[in-house]
Amino acid sequence: MGKVVAIGIDGPNTALFDDWMRQGLLPNLAKLEEQGFSGRYAHTKRFRNERCWDTFLGGRELAGTGSVFLPQRYDYYNESLQREGRYQPFYAFAGDKRVCIFDLPAAISPAVNGLQISGWGSELNAAAAMSRPETLIAEIIARHGADPKLKHVNTVRDAKTGEMETSYVLPSLYDLPALLDWRDRLKESVRRRCNISLDLLAREPWDLFLALFPEAHTANHMLWHLDQPHPLSPPSGPVGALLDVFREIDTAVGRILAALPDRRNVVVFSIDHTAVNNMDLPGMALLPELLYRWSFPGQQALAAGDASTAVAPALAGDLRHWKHQVWDLLTTHGNAVLASPERLEAEGSALSWNPAAWYQPRWPDMRAFALPSVADGFIRLNVKGRESHGLVEPEEFGATLDEVTALLERTRNPRTGAAIVKRVLRMRQSPAEQAEIAPDLVVCWDDRYPSDVLDSPELGRIGPLPYFRSGGHVSHGTPIENRFFACGPGVAPGRMADVGKLEDLPVTLLTLMGVRVPESLPGRSLLR
């Protein structure tokens, strides 16, 4: 047991990750797997994609969705991982041992003995640059530069604290030069992140140095179609942009490992998972419009189509941000009643780009509405006695959920003829149950084909819509396998015979450090 250097790679597709290593395209990671100890651990996605970070940082599964709905004000927001403070991170249990944390999506903990940086180059929708000591983040930016993807940003307000944060603007999937520039910015971000890591590692012999490469996650969201099958894939074949970013990360890992003394234990792990995106359009745009039409029969706010005709070709899209392309598809009625992204931006909303948020002014008058999400669909009923302007009688709660579920199950993707909904999950049996969970229903979408259009026998056609991100996440309840590799004096080479759990990863790091694992952490070392 002794000193530990841990490096996280955020959001890779595990199958691609493994394939690239087998092909020799990620030689430093492949060498680590070959010469050290390697294995897999599993985690089942629940609600927001970022919940895996709560499990990793807190060392255990935590209740709640990470999203808050305020029924008196019909207000909704996602809790910031940087500001939650609901638990001590596992590395706070290290006591007097010296710890350096670089750019995890985590709150700064006063219980940690060492240095902490968060928000230098976060993958989160909105983040704040912060550190302990407070002057450290400014010093790091002055010495190494800021995150290169912060070329176009919006300033937004954290809904819980009122503090200002930065939200970076994604390029259009239809703008190849901008996407290739995005790739180059991610690669430069990896290089700067590596230099910062080497700087911090050289400052003292940390008992735990823990850093993250979130560029893998961001690259999968925006570059997936340039390398993998998708309706927007270039007709000329793969460009290699996604692989370029991963090869840059592999090079950075190699540089860090080469700079370490032999006596260090090293753990490299992947966390979270991305794949082809089948969720953005259904969850962010098709679902809120479907519920709007259901609540207001005869009214259409967005992307009105004719389900009696052949489906139109996929939209060509343009070079503007996706939210502007979608806003242009509003009907005259929708333009008059929905909140524009410009209005929400002026209010400091971190969700101004998400079409589901545009319907918020109408939520008090709707029987059911879609809460903004970036994956599964979230549906909330407007219940008398629970919501301040409730319309659904509490005794009709179950029957209304059945009605909405049946409506969803009858929807189809007219491009394939298949159901667009894979399953609908009921979160509570009565309005008062599990108040900490925002949605009443969670909608899991068909994961076989990206859907840009929806047909409802009752409510007509919605779409086509332009695509937003080509890489996405998996549905609620889906088990995800991630990889980890370890080497060093406290690690015997070999391979795990079984699959561990995400909760085991923080216990593994504490055990390698020689720290007594508290009883509140249920995991066990992956190096068993």
Residue ranges, the chain, pLDDT below 70: 1, 50, 63-64
* pLDDT confidence of residue 63: 67
Q: What is the pTM of this model?
A: 0.95
* Omega before 133 within 30 of 0, i.e. cis: yes
* pLDDT confidence of residue 474: 86
Structure tokens, 104: 């995890």
* pLDDT confidence of residue 528: 73
Structure tokens, 293: 């039409």
Name the strands in the sheet holding 454-456, side by side, starting at the edge strand that comes first in the sequence: 304-305, 460-462, 454-456
Q: What's the one-letter identity of residue 519?
A: E
* pLDDT confidence of residue 280: 92
Structure tokens, 255: 């540089």
Structure tokens, 369: 């509405």
For residue 177, count other CB atoms closer than 10 A to its CB.
9
Do residues 87 and 508 make contact, with C-beta atoms less than 8 angstroms apart? no
Matching residue, tokens 């560029």: 215
E strand intervals along 158-302: 164-168, 208-213, 265-271, 275-276
Q: How far from the centroid of its chain's Cα atoms is residue 318's Cα? A: 25
For residue 257, count other CB atoms closer than 10 A to its CB.
18
* pLDDT confidence of residue 145: 97
The helix (run of H) or strand (run of E) holding residue 102 is strand 99-102
pLDDT digits (tens, 9 = 90+) for 306-327: 999 999 999 998 999 999 999 9
Distance between CA atoms of residues 148 and 176, nearest Å: 18
Do residues 297 and 458 make contact, with C-beta atoms less than 8 angstroms apart? no
Distance between CA atoms of residues 49 and 463, nearest Å: 26
* pLDDT confidence of residue 1: 66
* Residue among 441, 394, 434, 382 nearest 74 (CA): 382
- The set of residues, in sequence order, having a beta carbon less than 8 Å from that of 356 and lying 6+ positions away, is 283, 284, 285, 287, 288, 370, 371, 372, 373
Plot region of 317 (φ>0 → left; ψ -120 to 50 → alpha; else → beta): left
Distance between CA atoms of residues 52 and 60, nearest Å: 10
